Amino acid sequence: MHTPKPDPANLCWLDMEMTGLNPEHDRIIEAAVVVTDADLNILAQSESYAIHQSDELLKGMDAWNTSTHERTGLTRRVKDSTLSEAEVEQRLLDFIAQWIPQGASPLCGNTVHQDRRFMQRYMPRLEAWFHYRNLDVSTLKELARRWHPAAYKSFSKKGSHRALDDILESIEELRHYRQTFLRLPEANGTNQEAS
């Protein structure tokens, strides 16, 4: 894609698939990141890493997670993977460091507070890499649903529940809201200073 160069204006998009919603007993089973510039042009994307978890943990998933992860093939990838959460954390950190200085990018994606909860527990160094702010596309989705239903209804998600696919869809969704809901004047966002 592009030559890596750390730029504090770049954005790091992350998605994880988990065995459930509770980081107290559920675990991360897939993770990926995509780096964009401030104008949402994709600069690079990591591999989508399946993380090995025990058969016992996978058997303990609820019906929705069991069905979804079986259907997408993720359960098989998790069983076949030899990567731990710590190894994937390091690979993602190595990837992100090529593009973004530590503490510069908010955590970008959809409902990213959930990913952050799991990172705090299982990938704390990765969580600490991000700025404390979030760029959560689900906020715009909820505002559009209430304030501009046409913009909300004119974007439909496929919802593949695979980390890399979901990230790319989140970027596309933010582009959609930028065009249909935010209606920003023409400007180059990369020249604006963040506070």
Residue 132 annotated among the catalytic residues of the structure? yes
Q: Distance between CA 137 and CA 173 in Å, rounded?
A: 7
What six digits make up the tokens of 152?
A: 């909300």
Q: Which amino acid is at 44?
A: A
SS3 category, 16: strand
The answer to whether the CB of 118 falls within 8 A of the CB of 28 is yes
* Choice among 49, 122, 132, 152 that is catalytic: 132
The answer to whether residues 136 and 109 touch, using CB atoms and an 8 Å cutoff, is yes
The residue to which tokens 């909860």 are assigned: 117
Q: Is 129 exposed, middle or buried (0-12, 13-18, 19+ CB in 10 A)?
A: buried
Helical residues (DSSP H) of 3-111, grouped into ranges: 55-59, 63-72, 74-80, 85-97
* Active site (catalytic) residues: 132
